[in-house]
Amino acid sequence: MKRTLFGTDGVRGTANTYPMTAEAALRLATAAGQYFRHGKARVHRVVIGKDTRRSGYMIENALTAGFLSTGMDVVLLGPIPTPAVGMLTHSMRADVGVMISASHNPHHDNGIKFFGPDGYKLSDAAEAEIEALFNSGVDLCLPDNIGRANRIESATGRYVEATKATFPNGKRLDGLKVVIDCANGAAYRAAPEVLWELGAEVIPIGVRPNGYNINNGVGSTAPETAVATVLEHGADMGICLDGDADRIAIIDEKGNIADGDQIMGLIAARWAKSGVLRGGALVATVMSNLGLERWLGTQGIGLHRTDVGDRYVVDAMRRGGFNLGGEQSGHIVMSDYATTGDGLLAGLQFLAAMVEVGKPASELAKVFTPYPQVLKNIRFTADKPPLETVTVQAAIKDAEASLLGKGRLLIRKSGTEPLIRVMVEAEDQTLLRQVIDDMTRAVRDVA
């Protein structure tokens, strides 16, 4: 079954515009409720978390009503990171978990992500079945079977304790000054608390959400504020999370920014050396830098690539028995500890390396020299997808021919926005610029 409602990471759109309306959220919850009940005569439970967007109140209430109408009990977690929802779905023996968030997008967007009872995001097939129920309608439960809802206050505390437990036994962060940028998002309470309880001197920014400032000039997609704060306070390092805290960027003491590729490289090498890297490989997407792949090869570590989306990374990890994967954008999945990307966990792994080897962040945050890489996002409004046009296909063929053996071209439609994403890598800067300019022009001409 083909999916049109679900994208690469759940359902996403502009708040109060289909499919991010209260009506659509209610219908989606009734469809998911019927799918996860499976006709079993027992109590069914869903846990619902959210980030700090104003529209989260509207979506949360609509989802709650939909699930209750199908006989599912609802547990409301409040503002909490996406990985915490995956963890609590499993630990609370829930049938399904839901995170209301548009991740790194601005406040006027929102999204709905589903987790299965094992705490992992749903497969394409499961999402397709839910979408079919969304379109066809469901039978609501009898009045006596309507579910009940309650809000728990311990969700953040549970996540804090589980996160701290991943830090090496007996180690502390005493003497380290750490900037933590929570993007005015879901981790604004949990992340500073974890670092403080482990002994760090914490300088928090992006911890005053007002419903509209999530990801606005702060967070992993806007790390400039954190860079300035690290330099101003003479901090040892900085951690930037995004709005739902499932991705990270690291800032060293000199203000340099390390992306997900560098962080994954560091963790993979450390885990391989200590014998805990399962499968002898890292799982990453087609977006990860060619420099990472070649450097891993020198360390005797493989790289398995997947389509873009941390869900596809996790699928490949589970199929192949790997325990480390992620994306250049900062989603880093460590399946020994979590079922999805967790920026705070990745930050703790980096801090553990600093503590154990006694080196500054600048010596750990650049493990390989990346190939020059340019990414362009081109918004389109055309009825026909640009990638299906003859002129764009011809331009792709020409670009691949010129890059053969010298670099890579990746061009794809975004799964969450009306964008064509064009990425070019090449050792030769002149060639790189020529290819990216030609591809951008070809797409814009038909967009």
Omega of the bond leading into 19 within 30 degrees of 0 (cis): yes
Point out the catalytic residue in the list 55, 69, 101, 103.
Answer: 103
- CB contact at 8 A, 100 and 9: no
Contact yes or no for 5/11 (Cβ under 8 A): yes
268 and 317 in contact (C-beta within 8 Å)? no
Residue 129 CB neighbours (<10 A): 18
- Total residues belonging to the chain: 447
10 Å Cβ neighbour count for 160? 18
Query: In angstroms, rounded to a whole number, what is the distance separating the alpha carbons of residues 446 and 391?
Result: 8
Q: Is 362 marked active-site?
A: no
Q: Which two tokens stand for residue 350?
A: 């980096």
Write out 236-268 in H/E/C secondary structure. Answer: CEEEEECCCCCCEEEEECCCCEECHHHHHHHHH
- Going by C-alpha positions, the residue among 88, 102, 26 that lies closest to residue 58 is 26
Sheet with 324-326: strands ordered across: 302-306, 281-285, 324-326, 332-334
User: How many other CB atoms are there within 10 angstroms of residue 117's CB atom?
Assistant: 15
Largest CA distance in the chain: 70
Structure tokens at 12: 């996403």
Of 259, 276, 425, nearest to 346 by C-alpha is: 259
CA-CA distance, 82 to 41, in Å (whole number)? 30
Residues recognised as catalytic? 103
